[in-house]
Structure 1
Amino acid sequence: MSDRSVLEGTILRGKAFEAIEGRVILSDGQIVGVEEEPVESDDVVVPAFVNAHTHIGDSIAKEAGEGLDLDELVAPPDGLKHRLLREASHEETVAAMERSLGYMRQGGTAACIEFREGGVDGVRAMAEAAEGLDVDVVTLGREEIAAMEAGDGFGASGARDGEFGRERTATRKAGKLFGIHAGERDPDDINGALDLDPDFLVHMVHPEPIHLDRVEDRNVPIVVCPRSNLVTGVGTPDIAELASRTTVALGTDNVMLNSPSMFREMEFAAKLSDVPAREILAMATHHGAEIADLNCGVIEEDRDARLFVLDGDSDNLTGYQNAVRAVVRRAGVADVREVVLQTAE
């Protein structure tokens, strides 16, 4: 028997997020119809988010490290987060990650791309934390090739920390995802990162013209995390310039430093850059899905039924004049009425 349901309201349809009045029809984990017609609902139906860069293991150390610089906070192997991760028990780490994933789900996040510390054990702990949840965690192992083999790919810390040639070759042979931090504190590691032919770069706060040309020539996607960059004092990315060169997605980075809320990340990115709201919403949804090869992030037929519903008559949203801007610049977790995270079998 088909598992069929209907969501009504203002639908943000397609990759352009066209705001139409109507209904979305879901069946067996898939969007099977988007119908435009008058309905009696104040709801706003939005494609679920894809958080394209997380460090969820940091959930055991929220708001630790006040006054420390980037290296003191997160640099391997002796940055504060790495010491705290080593000191935490397996049970503490898993429980904290599970709570963060639950919060992400409440806020309409369908998936994340996780750079997971701790080698094979870290990858397995992430799988344990996600078990029973319907949030897709694309886990990129770190520190050893075996972690890549146990997960969904490899997440490199940066070209200044090692050469990563063996890891890149092994990841390519495995047909898995390879991402690397680059240009976070300065431009010195960007060419080294690009030489590895990564599937995507993270941060790119300090690119020089030659780097932007290389990114554009190779069409290398970039994940930006502007709240994290501001907190760690490295500056903020030129999101508009990056978006003019390649595909840009949004991530929330370290849970140690920021809540994994895509609403907060979108609002900050939009107001920091003045990039149009539709483009910011794309960065938070289907751009990340494309990097991770997920069939979500867009409300259209044959996509997985992964979306959420906002109460358009909440105290925060009532009276909005532009649905996309309201989602990007104003909405929050408290406005979420329902989250639907289903995947076609």
Structure 2
Amino acid sequence: MEEVSGTVLIGESFDPVRGRVVVDEGRIEAVEETDTDSTDIVLPAFVNAHTHLGDSVAKDAAVGLSLDEAVAPPDSLKHRRLTAADRDELVSAMRRTLRLMRRTGTVATLDFRESGPPGARALRDAAAGVGVDPFIFGSDDPSVLDVADGYGASGANDDDFAAERAACEERGAPFAIHAGEPDATDIHPALDLDPDLLVHMVHAEEDHLERVAEASVPVAVCPRANAVLDVGKAPIRELLDHTTVALGTDNVMLNPPSMFREMADAEMRFDVTTEEVLRMATTAGAEIAGLDCGVIEPGRRAALLVLDGDSDNLAGSVDPVRAVVRRATALDVERVVG
């Protein structure tokens, strides 16, 4: 039995309560309001809703490049770097990134993994013992579903992906696809595939939003990556008004996978509340992947992020949710539980 005390951000509304979380065998036994001397802030650990961890072998390679030059298959700089990397180099680079994610409060990531079954196996090996669970959207061939948790398509303009979608349907595995990143032309074709997750939706328009709402398709947005590649700003407010929206950091070659940076960027540049941003970084990603975390409530997995509320950075903050979203950094992390 373990107790984690301080200001606890409870439930999906992140109500701040002075008290403690009682943890038993990795699960939340109880959340109790009680007097405590602890100045810590306790919140759900992050779920990063979209990464490309293979890009760990190509850090900073995309600086100054267009979207197609940087990441488009099969001839972009990213894919040339992936092809050139041997397996040991790839696994080591991804493990380093996963360790960084763990230290900065992330316990799960929804990753689009290139290179078919060997690529998915490499990520499984990289994640072993690190404390970050990868939900792998594999690629290249339906057989990747023997190893991966679902299929991740590059975009409906790249292929029709009918066989991959059918394989997911047959196995009960989720099908995710990039859509609306460079422009809107692939959004309707992506929606025609009845996806379980859309990524980016930078150029989503009203007719797209109506279809998303009708089919209840969640969306992962990646504001910082969109800014680096200069593809535009996703209509996050409108997306939130129509569906579940989760936050991801996208390509490791573009930005470090810091949910702190992603939250601060989203809260400052978009028409969203701090509670909505924190939900995008925790609850929403867990919900999309069917993970039993992302919310602090009895019965859930005890995946918790503990911040030092008396750090030189956070001391004196009045609103703990705003402090987490706008101000907190990796230096404020005291520990990650679960």
Give TM-score, length-normalised by structure 1. Answer: 0.97
Alignment partner of 2:243 out of 246, 255, 260: 246
Query: 1:291 maps to which residue?
Result: 288
Rounded Cα–Cα distance in structure 2 between residues aligned with 1:93 and 1:141: 16
- Specify the SS of the correspondent of 1:223: strand
Alignment partner of 1:201 out of 189, 198, 203: 198
Query: 1:255 maps to which residue?
Result: 252
Equivalent position amino acid for 2:273 in 1: P
Alignment partner of 2:38 out of 35, 38, 41: 41
- 1:274 CA displacement: 3.4
- Specify the SS of the correspondent of 2:318: coil
Query: 2:134 maps to which residue?
Result: 137
Equivalent position amino acid for 1:238 in 2: P
Query: 1:89 maps to which residue?
Result: 86
Equivalent position amino acid for 1:205 in 2: V
Rounded Cα–Cα distance in structure 2 between residues aligned with 1:167 and 1:287: 25
Alignment partner of 1:270 out of 267, 271, 290: 267
Which has the higher mean CA deviation after the structures are superposed, 144-153 or 28-37?
144-153
- Specify the SS of the correspondent of 1:181: strand
Rounded Cα–Cα distance in structure 2 between residues aligned with 1:25 and 1:177: 33
Rounded Cα–Cα distance in structure 1 between residues aligned with 2:174 and 2:328: 32
Contact 2:44 2:293 in 1 (8 A): yes
Query: How does 1:68-147 map onto structure 2 within 5 Å?
Result: 68-147=65-144
Query: 1:220 maps to which residue?
Result: 217
- Specify the SS of the correspondent of 2:13: coil
Equivalent position amino acid for 2:140 in 1: E
Equivalent position amino acid for 1:172 in 2: E
- 1:209 CA displacement: 1.3
- 1:65 CA displacement: 2.7
Query: How does 1:295-306 map onto structure 2 within 5 Å?
Result: 295-306=292-303
Equivalent position amino acid for 2:317 in 1: Y
- 1:177 CA displacement: 1.5
Query: 1:329 maps to which residue?
Result: 326
Rounded Cα–Cα distance in structure 1 between residues aligned with 2:247 and 2:154: 18
Percentage of identical aligned residues:
56
Rounded Cα–Cα distance in structure 2 between residues aligned with 1:82 and 1:273: 31
Query: 1:153 maps to which residue?
Result: 150
Query: 1:340 maps to which residue?
Result: 337
Give TM-score, length-normalised by structure 2. Answer: 0.99
- Specify the SS of the correspondent of 1:82: helix
Rounded Cα–Cα distance in structure 1 between residues aligned with 2:9 and 2:134: 25
Q: Tell me whether 1:61 sits opposite 2:50 in the alignment.
A: no
Contact 2:236 2:271 in 1 (8 A): no
Alignment partner of 1:19 out of 12, 16, 19: 16
Q: Tell me whether 1:168 sits opposite 2:165 in the alignment.
A: yes
Rounded Cα–Cα distance in structure 1 between residues aligned with 2:217 and 2:115: 27
- 1:66 CA displacement: 2.1
- Change in 2 beyond 3 A, CA 1:337/1:286: same
Rounded Cα–Cα distance in structure 2 between residues aligned with 1:150 and 1:45: 34
Which has the higher mean CA deviation after the structures are superposed, 40-49 or 62-71?
62-71
Q: Deviations over 1:258-313 (max 9, x none)?
A: 10010110000010113110010000001000000000000000000101100000
Rounded Cα–Cα distance in structure 2 between residues aligned with 1:329 and 1:178: 33
Runs of 4+ more than 4 Å apart:
none
Q: Deviations over 1:217-253 (max 9, x none)?
A: 1111000000000000101111111101110000000
- 1:148 CA displacement: 2.3
- 1:146 CA displacement: 1.1
Query: 1:5 maps to which residue?
Result: 2
- Specify the SS of the correspondent of 1:32: strand
- 1:149 CA displacement: 2.4
- 1:67 CA displacement: 1.5
Rounded Cα–Cα distance in structure 2 between residues aligned with 1:63 and 1:173: 39
Equivalent position amino acid for 1:296 in 2: C
Contact 2:180 2:186 in 1 (8 A): yes
Rounded Cα–Cα distance in structure 1 between residues aligned with 2:332 and 2:106: 14
Rounded Cα–Cα distance in structure 2 between residues aligned with 1:171 and 1:94: 26
Query: 1:29 maps to which residue?
Result: 26
